[in-house]
Structure formats: structure tokens, C-alpha cells
Amino acid sequence: MAKKYKVGYTTGVYDMFHVGHLNLLRRAKEQCDYLIVGVSTDELVQKTKNKTPVIPLEDRMEILKACRYVDEVVPQFNKDKIAAYHKYKFDAMFVGDDWKGSELFSKCEEELKKYGSTVVYFPYTQKVSSTKLREKLQLPANPTVVKIEKTESEKKQGLFARLASSFKGLLA
């Protein structure tokens, strides 16, 4: 069965990956042949949300690369969706309907229409969000980040690649 769009694009922080993220990615992939996922950098999250992600960018990107619905993962350095369109040439941008009517996406819809692209809104998963998880875990908005260096053995064995691969098995 042919899908409605050839190339799809979506973005997010994807901190503390949860079923809401999975629902968005699954729905997006159902509608496009190739799904590109932009992941907000730690700096962008700090600047726009005044929060520090719990999971560092590299790890969030690895988790998404392991998801079977995702074809390509790219860092998102800013919220300029039109610049992203010019770079990735997507037919549709997929977002949660919590963004519908926002200034950012109202302008985005108008501009993308000029290029033959569109914004597709999916129902927001109400029961879970990274913010709700943070609150439940009683995590501060800007936790102290502790960088744990990999041992030589872990580097050689590709521990993080193995973890991402294991995660893929859970999502399959």
C-alpha cells in the first residue's frame, strides 16, 4: 500500500523516551516512506524551555536510531522549521496537536504550503509526558549533569551501541 507522503519530518526533545514519543513516531511512519527525526540539542532545550534534558543529546539520538519507525536522526539546533524544510525537503511535518494554533506552527503551515509541504497534527498522548515523568521522579528542571567516562573496555565493546540495540528489540 502506497503511503501518503514520501519524506516526513518531526522534531522533539525526546527526553526520557516514553509511549507518547513512540505513538507520534509510529503514526508518522504509517504516513511516510522515509521519516527524519530532529532531536533538540541540549543547548536548544536550555534556551527555549529553560530545562536541562535528563538524557544527553548523543544518547537520545542513539535511542531514536534504534527505533524501527525512524529512518534518519539529525540534531535540531534551532526551531526554524522552514530552514529544516529547505535542508530535508520533507512532504509533511508531523507534530502533536498540542501545537495546533500556536504562533510557530500557524506561520509554519502557511509557509510550507508555498512549497507543497504540509503540517500533520496527531493526537497528543495525554497520559504521559517528559514533564510529567520529571515531576513524578521529582527531578529539578536543571539537574547537575554528571558525565560518566567510559572505560577502555566499554569503548572497545561499544556498550552504548549494545544498549541501543537492546532497546530496538524492545520497540520491535
**147-161 pLDDT, tens digit each:** 556 666 555 555 555
Beta bridge partners of 38: 11, 74
141: closest CA among 75, 54, 82?
54
Using DSSP's 3-state secondary structure scheme, residue 39 falls into strand
Q: State the catalytic residues.
A: 49, 51
CA of residue 71 relative to chain centroid, distance: 12
How many angstroms separate the Cα of 74 from the Cα of each of 65, 107, 129, 148?
A: 10, 23, 22, 24
**CA Rg value for the chain:** 17
122: closest CA among 5, 25, 15?
25
Domain that holds residue 167: 5-171
How many angstroms separate the Cα of 126 from the Cα of each of 57, 90, 93, 100, 121?
A: 25, 27, 21, 15, 15
Phi then psi dihedrals of residue 14, to 5 deg: 55, 40
Least confident of 8-17, 48-57, 147-156: 147-156
CATH number assigned to the domain comprising residue 39: 3.40.50.620
| Mean pLDDT rounded to a whole number for the chain | 83
DSSP state of 54: S
**24-44 pLDDT, tens digit each:** 999 999 999 999 999 999 999
Q: How many domains does one find in the chain? A: 1
Nine-digit cell at 51?
Answer: 530545562
**What local confidence, expressed as pLDDT, does residue 30 receive?**
97
